[in-house]
Amino acid sequence: MAILAPPYRPFSPGFPPLDPARGDGGATIAVTLRYAPLAFLLGLFTPILQIDGHNVPAGWGRVTTPVALGEHHVHVHVPYLLPSRLGAAETTVLALPGKTAELEYRAPLLAFLHGALGPPPQKYPGLIMAVLLLIVTAILAICGCAGLLSSAGQDDTPTAAARSGPHHTAFRYGE
């Protein structure tokens, strides 16, 4: 899918107005790489950004790269433990003269999902599922703690009534 601003909408989110810093009419691709605060461990890993199959030095935040005019294939993923390529996402961008193509990458909150890459703003993939999993985990932890606390106050020895029941037999050593 090529991202292209129609001529009647020169201020589309994918293509801001002419970039005065690039007076030579060249083009730029800017990718903002983000991860959710819930997935704070992703901050330990450096994302991989590739444009037309070539690695571009990147980190979390905004990365700008001058490119030739025309279509460019953009790929982003995070090298991880399992899976080895977390949140892979890709798109095709059309670089126009004197313009900056703005893209935003959002890493997923769950390891088995793809990332989101496209014109900003993007949503975090798996946000609702991750929040539901956190709520279920919190409820189970609260129930477990409440069960432990309620059982801690109970005496485990049988009462006198239970010992004198018809099925209770006492056994003493030496008898």
| Cβ atoms of residues 80 and 88 within 8 Å | no
Range of the domain at 114: 2-130
pLDDT at 175 over 80: no
pTM for the predicted model, two decimal places: 0.71
pLDDT score for 25: 66
Could you tell me if residue 142 is inside a domain? no
Count of Cβ atoms closer than 10 Å to residue 19 Cβ? 16
| Cβ atoms of residues 126 and 113 within 8 Å | yes
Q: How many domains does the chain have?
A: 1
pLDDT score for 60: 97
Instruction: Give residue 124's Cα distance to chain centre.
Output: 6
- What would the two tokens of residue 64 be? 């700008």
pLDDT score for 157: 61
pLDDT tens, position by position, 43-100? 999 999 999 999 999 999 999 999 999 999 999 999 988 888 999 999 999 999 999 9
Nearest to 83, CA basis, from 110, 60, 43: 110
Indicate the average pLDDT of the chain.
Answer: 84
Could you tell me if residue 73 is inside a domain? yes
Q: How confident is the model at residue 9 (pLDDT cuts 50, 70, 90)?
A: very low
Provide the CATH number for the domain around residue 45: 2.60.40.1120
Count of Cβ atoms closer than 10 Å to residue 61 Cβ? 10
Q: What percent of the chain has pLDDT over 70?
A: 73
Region for residue 25 given its phi and psi (left: phi exceeds 0; alpha: psi -120 to 50; beta: otherwise): left
Could you tell me if residue 160 is inside a domain? no
Could you tell me if residue 139 is inside a domain? no
Q: What percent of the chain has pLDDT over 90?
A: 65
Could you tell me if residue 166 is inside a domain? no
Could you tell me if residue 161 is inside a domain? no
- Round to whole Å and give the CA distance between 29 and 63: 8
| Cβ atoms of residues 145 and 39 within 8 Å | no
